[in-house]
């Protein structure tokens, strides 16, 4: 008897075609994609965010209005952002000036400098990997449930940021 090793599962008769029983959820996106607009408070270790069908200036302004409600107006917010042209529109710049929000731009090809990226990796691992969701609503519920679970386990579920983005 020779050494044992991993073997491919039997596929049936010789010459019979074989195909997987299902396709991954990300193979074809017939219902389109959605955008997660996330915020991470590094001081409180609190992750929050909202999901939109698209990432438009209107969607960003909606998310930033919710973010601003989580903190007193007297507190200046420093928000780390990538260099997406949409983030640099005049409408957003005007809102930032009016509401004491200072964008801090990451250098090109340096998204790893933004601490929320680590949170995105964990969220993706726990909510999106190996998932076959029938629709966007199911996926949204899973993402929001993960954020509630995550904030509860680090003790920030009662923090204002988590409450403002409570889903």
**pLDDT tier at 162 (50, 70, 90 boundaries)?**
confident
Confidence check: pLDDT of 4 > 50: no
Evaluate whether residue 28 is within a structural domain. Answer: no
Confidence check: pLDDT of 21 > 90: no
Evaluate whether residue 81 is within a structural domain. Answer: yes
Evaluate whether residue 24 is within a structural domain. Answer: no
Evaluate whether residue 88 is within a structural domain. Answer: yes
pLDDT at 19: 64
Evaluate whether residue 85 is within a structural domain. Answer: yes
The domain that holds 135 is classified in CATH as: 3.30.420
Tell me the per-residue pLDDT of 27-79, one tens digit each, with 9 for 90 and over.
Answer: 566 677 889 999 999 989 999 999 998 899 999 999 999 999 999 999 999 99
pLDDT at 80: 93
Do residues 146 and 128 make contact, with C-beta atoms less than 8 angstroms apart? no
Residues 6+ apart with CB under 8 A from 166: 148
Evaluate whether residue 111 is within a structural domain. Answer: yes
Ordered DSSP codes for the chain: -------PPP-SSTT-----SS--TTS--TT---EEEEEEETTTTEEEEEEESS--HHHHHHHHHHHHHTS-TTSPEEEEE---GGGG-HHHHHHHHHTTEEEEEPPTT-GGGSTHHHHHHHHHHHHTTT---SSHHHHHHHHHHHHHHHHHHTT-TTSHHHHHT--
Evaluate whether residue 10 is within a structural domain. Answer: no
Tell me the per-residue pLDDT of 127-160, one tens digit each, with 9 for 90 and over.
Answer: 888 777 788 899 899 999 999 999 989 887 777 8
CA distance 63 to 71: 14
pLDDT at 7: 41
Range of the domain at 93: 35-118+126-164
Confidence check: pLDDT of 23 > 80: no
CA distance 62 to 3: 62
Evaluate whether residue 131 is within a structural domain. Answer: yes
Number of domains in the chain: 1
Tell me the per-residue pLDDT of 109-135, one tens digit each, with 9 for 90 and over.
Answer: 888 888 888 898 999 998 888 777 788
């Amino acid at each position: 008897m020779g050494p044992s090793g991993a073997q491919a599962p039997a596929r049936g008769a010789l010459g019979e075609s074989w195909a997987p029983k299902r396709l991954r959820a990300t193979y074809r996106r017939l219902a389109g994609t959605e955008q997660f607009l996330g915020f991470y408070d590094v001081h409180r270790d609190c992750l929050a965010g909202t999901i939109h069908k698209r990432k438009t200036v209107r969607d960003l302004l909606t998310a930033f209005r919710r973010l601003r409600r989580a903190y007193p107006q007297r507190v200046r917010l420093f928000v780390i952002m990538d260099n997406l042209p949409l983030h640099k529109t005049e409408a957003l710049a005007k809102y930032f000036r009016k509401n004491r929000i200072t964008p801090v731009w990451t250098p090109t090809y340096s998204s790893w400098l933004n601490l929320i990226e680590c949170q995105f990796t964990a969220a993706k691992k726990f909510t999106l990997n190996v998932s076959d969701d029938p629709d966007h609503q199911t996926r949204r519920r899973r993402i929001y449930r993960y954020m509630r679970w995550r904030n509860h386990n680090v003790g920030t579920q009662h923090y204002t940021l988590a409450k403002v983005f409570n889903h």
